């Protein structure tokens, strides 16, 4: 995990928690029955992404909701619809895209309060369950089709939807593919493989295919790596869904820091924000909280 220096410990605090008025206490959902059996689930937040005004958008998977959290921590329900929004990313032009486990890739019009399909199938076959997405600078959409895959069924897929509408399947042997992010040069794609408890590294070839796919880092626990983000220096931030941490890896794969949850153990996704991009925001899904930590010290 590390060579010479033990990883730095970075503490978190709660930025904002879902108000009780939005929590669906005592309500059962098909999603929770399948993914959190026997565990009371009044919300399950994921998919943090900032707009240009500094508002943080997040999803609430089991209840088909998307929220906007203002810089002062106030929550606003943007939409509630029949779906399971799992991942969300906001493009540079303000376009809001959603990886919906039930429907596929969707687009949110926050002003009108509606979602419309972008891509719902491949060759007339429905997706198994889209989990997360990442946007390339050229407009390409990378997304994971996780479903219920795992070591027992290593058939999860990672796709690229190019800006001209071509759909490429980059791999179809994923062990529960989840969060994903491009490196700063956009020549390597990193994908969290939750049930493999690892992050895979997918280098691109000249023709856009991937080759020599390998494990960039391995972890442990009852769940595994979930959401990913990367800073301009190529440091990978990995939210772990059962260990209550975000782990920070150097470009060579060495663990250099661990960001510890002050709430629950389900650190599912991450986004870098702040005026100087020196804050990391973390969705702690089980408690319906968004945590924040100062990561400016990583530069010292």
Measure CA 151 to chain center. Answer: 21
Provide mean pLDDT across the span 266-290: 96
SS3 248: strand
Six-digit token string for 89 = 């990313």
Six-digit token string for 181 = 């992010």
Q: How confident is the model over 102-143, as pLDDT tens digits?
A: 999 999 999 999 999 999 999 999 999 999 999 999 999 999
Torsion angle defined by CA atoms of residues 136, 139, 145 and 146, in that order, rounded to the nearest 10 degrees: 30
pLDDT band at 2 (very low <50, low <70, confident <90, very high): confident
CA distance 235 to 233: 6
Provide mean pLDDT across the span 210-230: 98
Of the candidates 99, 29, 84, 23, the residue with the CA atom closest to the CA atom of residue 286: 23
Provide mean pLDDT across the span 225-252: 98
Provide mean pLDDT across the span 213-224: 98
178 is in an annotated binding site: yes
The whole-number pLDDT of residue 4 equals 86
Catalytic residues: 226
11 is in an annotated binding site: no
Backbone angles phi, psi at 33, to 5 degrees: -60, -35
Q: Residue 172 in contact with residue 155, Cβ under 8 Å? A: yes
Q: What is the mean pLDDT of the chain?
A: 97
**181 or 299: whose pLDDT is higher?**
181
Please tell me the pTM assigned to this model: 0.97
CA distance 179 to 161: 16
226 is in an annotated binding site: yes
Question: Is residue 3 scored above 90 in pLDDT?
Answer: no
The whole-number pLDDT of residue 282 equals 98
Q: Residue 149 in contact with residue 173, Cβ under 8 Å? A: no
Domain boundaries, the chain: 8-298
What is the CATH code of the structural domain delimited by 8-298? Answer: 2.120.10.30
Q: How confident is the model over 153-205, as pLDDT tens digits?
A: 999 999 999 999 999 999 999 999 999 999 999 999 999 999 999 999 999 99
The whole-number pLDDT of residue 1 equals 76
């Amino acid at each position: 995990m590390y060579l010479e220096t033990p990883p730095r410990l970075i503490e978190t605090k709660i930025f904002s928690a879902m108000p009780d008025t939005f929590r669906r206490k005592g309500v059962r959902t098909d999603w929770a029955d399948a993914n959190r059996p026997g565990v009371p689930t009044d919300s399950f937040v994921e998919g943090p992404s900032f707009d240009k005004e500094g508002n943080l958008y997040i999803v609430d998977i089991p209840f088909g909701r998307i929220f906007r959290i203002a810089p002062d921590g106030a929550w606003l329900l943007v939409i509630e619809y029949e779906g399971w929004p799992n991942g969300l990313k906001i493009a540079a032009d303000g376009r809001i895209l959603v990886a919906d486990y039930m429907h596929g890739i969707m687009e949110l019009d926050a002003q009108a309060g509606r979602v419309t399909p972008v891509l719902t199938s491949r060759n007339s076959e429905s997706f198994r369950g889209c989990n997360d997405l990442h946007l390339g600078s050229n407009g390409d959409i990378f997304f994971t089709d996780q479903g219920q895959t795992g070591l027992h069924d290593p058939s999860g897929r990672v796709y690229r939807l190019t800006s001209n509408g071509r759909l490429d399947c980059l791999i179809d042997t994923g062990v529960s593919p989840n969060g994903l992010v491009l490196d700063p040069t956009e020549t390597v794609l990193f994908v969290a493989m939750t049930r493999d408890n690892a992050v895979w590294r997918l280098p691109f070839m000249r023709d856009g295919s991937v080759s020599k796919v390998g494990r960039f880092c391995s972890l442990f626990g009852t769940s595994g790596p979930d959401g990913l983000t990367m800073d301009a220096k190529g440091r990978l931030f990995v939210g772990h869904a059962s260990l209550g941490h975000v782990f920070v890896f150097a470009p060579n794969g060495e663990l250099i820091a661990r960001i510890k949850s002050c709430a629950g153990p389900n650190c599912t996704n991450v986004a870098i924000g702040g005026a100087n991009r020196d804050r990391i925001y973390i969705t702690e899904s089980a408690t319906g909280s968004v945590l924040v930590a100062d990561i400016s010290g990583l530069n010292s």
